[in-house]
Amino acid sequence: MACSDNFNAVNLESILKRIENLEVVGADALVAESSKAIRLLVEGFGGGRRELYRRLNDTFTRLLEARPSSAALRNFLEYVRLRITPSMEVEELRESVLKSTEEFSRSMAEARERIGEIGARRIRDDSVLLTHGYSSTVYAILQQVRREGKRVEVYVTEARPELRGREMAKAVASLGFETHLIVDAAARVFMGMVDDVLMGAEAVAANGAVLSKVGAATIALVAREARVRVMVAAGTYKFSPETLVGKPMEVEEGLHRLVADESLMRVENLHVRCPLYDVIPPRYVDVIITERGVIPPEGVYFLIREVGGRHVGSP
C-alpha cells in the first residue's frame, strides 16, 4: 500500500473511533466527520470495485451502529447509499460518493440558513428566550435575529452530562445578547420570565415527537405548565421516515465518566445510567421550524409523506 493510502487508512480509522467514542457531537459535526471518513475511504482505495462497495457498506453500518440516535446521519448515509451500486466501476463509485456527500452537506447548510430566516420571524423584539444545550440551528436563528436588529435576552441551560450549553452560552453572548447560563434543574425557576422556549433536535418522528438532548422533555413539560410556547428548530434532514412504520427512535447512552468518577463506579450495587437524549411528546411542542416552513407536530407525518420517492432532507 502506498504512503498516501496508509495515511488515509489511519485517518479514516481515527475518525471512526472518535465517532464511536462519542467525541463528535451535534448533527452537523457528525455528518461532516462521517462525510470526511467516507471521502478518505474512496480517495485512498486501491482495490477492485466489489471490495470498495463492500467496504463502503461496512463503513455505513459501523457509523449507524455507533450513533443510532442521529436521524441526520441515517438520512445522510441513506442518501449516499442509494446513489451507488455494486456494478459501478471504482472511479464511478468514487465520483458518486464524493458528489453525493457534497450535495447532502450543502443541502444541510442551506436548510440551516433558511430555518434561520424563518425562525427569526417568530422571535419578537425584546422577548426572553430559553434554549437547552448547543444547537447550530438555534444559533442560526439567533444570528438572523441579530441581523434584523431585534433585542432578546437568552437563558441557556448547561445540558448535562456533556455540558455543551456552556459553549452555546458563549456563542449567544458573542452575538451581543444578554445571556444567562443556568443549570438544567433551574429551568423551572426562570420559566416565569421566559416568553418562548427554542430548542434543537436530534431526530423528529412521524407523529411529531422530538428526540433532543436529555432534559428537553422536562423543560418542555415545565414550559407547558407555565403556558410558555415551545418551538423546535429542525431541518427535514432530521426527520425519521422509518418511524412511519412504527420503528422507535433510539436513545444513546453516554460514557459513565460523564457523570461518575472511578471511585463511585466501584461502589457495590451502584449502576450509573447516562442517556444522552430524551423524547418530547408532540403535545408539548407548539411548532417545528423547518426549511420548508413552520408546521405543527401533526404536520410532520404529511411532510415526510410529501417527499414521496425522494429521501427526507435530500437536495
Residue 91: CATH number of its domain: 1.20.120.420
Residues 103 and 122 in one domain: no
| Cα–Cα distance, 68 to 72 (Å, whole number) | 10
**Residue whose cell numbers read 420503528:** 247
pLDDT at 8: 75
Which residues does residue 128 pair with via DSSP β-bridges, in sequence order?
153
> Angle at which helices 90-120 and 49-66 pack, to 10 degrees?
30
pLDDT at 3: 46
Number of domains the chain is built from = 2
Residues 71 and 201 in one domain: no
Residues 63 and 166 in one domain: no
Residue 179: CATH number of its domain: 3.40.50.10470
Residues 159 and 87 in one domain: no
| Opening angle at CA 218, ends 213 and 221, nearest 5 | 130
pLDDT digits (tens, 9 = 90+) for 233-285: 999 999 999 999 888 898 988 888 888 888 998 999 998 999 999 999 999 99
Structural domain includes residue 193: yes
End-to-end CA distance of the chain: 37
Structural domain includes residue 312: no
pLDDT digits (tens, 9 = 90+) for 139-155: 999 999 999 999 999 99
Residues 153 and 288 in one domain: yes
79, 112, 145 - which closes a domain: 112
Q: Which residues of the chain fall below pLDDT 50?
A: 1-3, 7, 308-309
Residues 80 and 214 in one domain: no
Residues 154 and 69 in one domain: no
Domain residues for the domain of 16 are 3-112
Structural domain includes residue 313: no
Residue in 143, 163, 215 with CA at minimum distance from that of residue 154? 143
pLDDT at 25: 85
Q: Is the backbone of residue 3 left (phi > 0), alpha (psi -120 to 50) or beta?
A: alpha
Residues 22 and 142 in one domain: no
